[in-house]
Structure formats: C-alpha cells, structure tokens
Amino acid sequence: MFLKILACAALLSIPVTNKELPDLAIGDAAPATELKLKDITGDETDLRSITGANGLLVIFSCNTCPFVVGSEGSEGWQGRYPALAKDCADKGIGFVLVNSNDAKRDAGDSFADMQQQYKEQGYAGHYLLDQGHAMADAFGARTTPHVYLFTKDLKLAYKGAIDDNVESPSAVKAHWLNDAMAAVAAGKTPEPATTRNIGCGIKRGEARK
C-alpha cells in the first residue's frame, strides 16, 4: 500500500527540477520572514516573530496528503508534529506549520479545515494559511511535508524529511530532524544537512501543476 501511495504522490508532485522555484542551499538566509500570514487563531504573524532564541523550524504541511495524515498501513508524519513542537519549545526553536495547498482549499485544506485538524490532532505551535502559496514559492517548497530548519541567525541548517520512515515512528532508524535540532540548539552543524523530501506535491493550482 505504501508503495502505491509513493507512486501516486510521485505522479502528482511538483518536479524537484522545476526551474521556476528556488532551491535554498544550506547557509542561505530564510526568505519571506516578514510576510504576514493568518494563523489558526485568526491573528496574523510572520516567521521572524516566531523564531526562537536558537532557531526556527518550518514544515510545509496540509490536511489531505497521505504522507502527512496517514493511510492504510501507514501512520503518516503528522502524529510526530506535537512531539516536534515540544522539542522545539524545549530547545528554544520556533515551530510553525504552513499550508500552501491553494488548489485544495475547497477539498480539505480550507482555513476551517486547518483549525479542525489542529484541534483534533493535538497540534501545537503555529499553523499558517499560505494564501496564494507566496511563502512556499519563496522557499521553493515542493512537498507535504517539506522541512526547513534555521539557526538563530535564520540561516538554513537542515532541509528535507523528518525521518526515514513515514509508516511508523517505532520503525524509524534515522531521526534526521531531531538530530539536526539538537545540533542547531547546541550551535553545531547538522550531519546530514540535507535529506530527500518525500510527500505529495504542494497543490499550487493551475499555475504550477
């Protein structure tokens, strides 16, 4: 079942070689840090305001992708979000989820859907509505999920996937993001600094199908 999901997501995803999107390199400054987006609380905020004393974690996510919400035989990654948010809080790292799925606002990714998902799944931290996928475009985010971890100076330290097993947290062997967060909090360089992001393509709509 997971292999079928992977094949389907590959067909639907935005190609990683899409030249219209930037590709942030390790050490690059965080983009769009002052772009105001609506949080699930209804208030607007920006990445600079969310950044903690030791950095910032941005995860492009959604309510509809099986790599996020799970499927038959796979738990998906969203079940790990609450623990990541807590770990960020403990380490002085700001935590934010961003929903850029414009083409699915009427099919599970509306603002009301985001509020419901946040509550039902026990999310913590911020969950922002990226209307017009402006933030995703600035980051060059391709998939849900797609992870970007920045240092306290808002320089990219890690990007890619949360870990090596979407199906079950108990089967994870490589905790890439957790290890990167520990490194950043300690002022060290994550190793590896880049992994392959896997997920459904962000649904930007007609302009970027």
Give the pLDDT confidence of 18-74 residue by residue, as tens digits.
Answer: 448 999 999 999 999 999 999 999 999 999 999 999 999 999 999 999 999 999 999
| Helix segments in 33-102, DSSP class H | 47-50, 66-69, 81-91
**Nearest Cα residue to 49 out of 31, 35, 29:** 35
CATH of domain 2-12+34-208: 3.40.30.10
37 φ, ψ to 5°?
A: -125, 155
The predicted model scores a pTM of 0.90
pLDDT of residue 20: 83
Per-chain mean pLDDT for the chain: 91
Q: Are 79 and 6 in contact (CB under 8 A)?
A: no
Instruction: Give the pLDDT confidence of 16-34 residue by residue, as tens digits.
Output: 334 489 999 999 999 999 9
